[in-house]
Chains A and B, each alone.
Chain A
Amino acid sequence: MRVLLFLLVKEFQQIFRNPAIIRIIFIMPAVQLLVLPLAADYEVKNVYITVVDNDHSSYSHALVNKLVASDYFVLTGYADSYAQAMLDIEQDRSDLIIEIPGQFERTLVREDKATVSIAANAVNGAKGGIGASYAASLIQDFNTDIRTDWLQLPRYNPYPVIAITGSNWYNLHMRYDLFMVPGILVILLTMVGSFLASINIVYEKEVGTIEQINVSPIRKYQFILGKLIPFWIIGFVVLTIGLVISRVAYGIIPEGSFGLIYLFAAVYLLAFLGIGLLLSTYADTQQQAMFISFFLMMIFILMGGLYTSIDSMPEWAQVIAHLNPVTYFIEVMRMVVMKGSTFADIRSQFFIISGMAVFFNVWAVLNYRKRN
């Protein structure tokens, strides 16, 4: 116990003397939370369109006005021909071409139907696809507008219509920040656990001080606890800073209890510190540790449901996602922050993470050798 105390004192002295770690603790949460949720937004805005208006009629103008008046589309300009419009696409000035055929108004009035073609630049698939469907629905809307114009108070509606009204539970206004922020909080803790801890231990290997520790009577578990506890505490500091930032910057106040978030974070940090520790037993240089944890982070983050829904992944990918600790914490964080879930709701995730924490730490301790 006394030995552990001396180890902890030494560890904290080193941490507080290292400006890089202090900066990471305070700046990393701020940057990630302030920048990422705003940038990583799926809502497609600013779709640039080039219009080929072969008709120049009042209806064609009305249609273009309707598109441009929405928040989604920005008019790059008019083109005289489809080929000319393609130039805008090729030079990346436009995402979408709307071609209105000649005689558009006339055919619409006389024959009750007309065609408008939409060509999308699918290099940026999401933007092309979503842009085209926004445009289609606006044109549909335009269609309904003229129809009601023409019908002039029918005695009955010839087309029965079921109108659908939805309400988005737990995220009423479909705010992306409400969805992203809890996930980013998880990523922050993940970084502290795997990155900082593994680099710290490998650093001692690199400069050779670990040799001095290994010839001393310090026990394996004392050394490991001496490394885990400081980063565990740093994790809580980072989480607290993160929660304060999400409160101040986004007004996000967890629906559920803070206690539950901290409880889950405690176990989650242990799991990731175990992974960090394990990494450090395999890596000999900080560079190696950094590359391996960078590689793991990529997989953990991309397969953790931060950006993409796990339910829509192929089955094999879902299996991987469920081996990923990040998945569970993101799930739990969103449940607690958005829905106000209680311990009963997150019990299974809690036990899975506890199991992972035990698994990785036991592996790490077994693999840490004082003697080669």
Chain B
Amino acid sequence: MEKVITAHNLTRTFGDFTAVDAISFEVGKGEIFGFLGANGAGKTTAMKMLIGILSPSAGSATVAGFDLVTESEKIKRNIGYMSQRFSLYEDLTVMENIRFYAGIYGLSLSAIREKSSSMLERLELSGESKTLVRALPLGWKQKLAFSLAIIHEPKIVFLDEPTGGVDPATRRRFWEMIYETAAGGMTVFVTTHYMDEAEYCNRVSIMVDGKIEALDEPSRLKQQYHADSMDAVFQIMASGAKRSE
């Protein structure tokens, strides 16, 4: 399988605190890769290095075939990112947000028109294009943020705890969107601490205290730890953690 992310001993320290401790892994094209860990385990830090907003202290990585340290601007054309806070402009309308994010990725005006109308239809937001994002319910904001993160059809999309705070029904629908996206060949790199979501991933890695302690398909991890759910696997792993929030 074609590798779109390779990390080798990737490390990040803050002072004498090692947030991410020499992690190595690979992610294949079209894979849904779950990045799990308790709060403070280092998942967000690791992800921020991969998307190029935090420099690694040591180690190396390639994302979308480009070197993390020397070619970070090239990486940025090929990735999408949705942060925990959704990063939409709340004081802009739905349409203005779409136009802005599509515009800064260099989409032409006609492409923006085309994309936005099909996107609004898919999200069932056609009637809301002139609504301020601030006024949208959380679930809609989150779906809109995801659609904007992939509007430029990147090779990889990074999702940082995308379903925090939304109801189970919305979470299900959100995961349907993720499946559709991955089916189209886009790689999905997602951090979460909902263990039921971990079951939906092709492969998961579990971070404990800055290190990757386990990395495999959910079914094989369950087998290996003699557990009947990912939640149980995670409990076993996390019980060894020294760090906490």
Contacts and interface: CB of A to CB of B under 8 A. Distances in A.
The DSSP consensus for interface residues of chain B is loop
A370 B51 CA distance: 11
B55 A371 contact: yes
B89 A14 contact: yes
A207 B92 CA distance: 14
A13 B91 CA distance: 9
B187 to A, nearest CB: 16
A214 interface: yes
Contact of B54 (A9, A216, A218, A371): A371
Interface residues of A, number: 25
Nearest to A10: B100
A208 B106 contact: no
Interface string A193-213: 000000000000001110111
Given A18-B91, A370-B53, A13 B106 contact: no
B243 interface: no
B100 A216 contact: no
A7 B53 CA distance: 20
B85 interface: yes
B186 to A, nearest CB: 16
A212 B79 CA distance: 11
A216 B91 CA distance: 20
A84 to B, nearest CB: 65
Nearest to A216: B104
A372 B96 contact: no
Contacts of B55: 371-372
Contacts of A6: 99-100, 103-104
A215 B51 contact: yes
B76 interface: yes
B235 interface: no
Given A216-B105, A371-B72, A14 B53 contact: no
B53 A215 contact: yes
A185 B90 CA distance: 34
B87 interface: yes
Nearest to A226: B104
A217 B104 contact: yes
A3 interface: yes
Contacts of A3: 103-104, 106
A19 B140 CA distance: 26
B189 interface: no
B234 interface: no
Interface of B: 51-55, 72-73, 76-77, 79, 81, 83, 85, 87-92, 96, 99-101, 103-106
Given A17-B91, A208-B87, A215-B53, 12 more contacts: A6-B100, A6-B104, A14-B92, A17-B92, A207-B85, A208-B85, A211-B53, A211-B83, A216-B76, A217-B73, A217-B106, A371-B54
Interface of A: 2-3, 5-7, 9-10, 13-14, 17-18, 207-209, 211-218, 370-372
The 7 closest A-B pairs by CB, nearest first: A6-B103, A212-B87, A208-B85, A215-B81, A10-B100, A217-B76, A215-B51
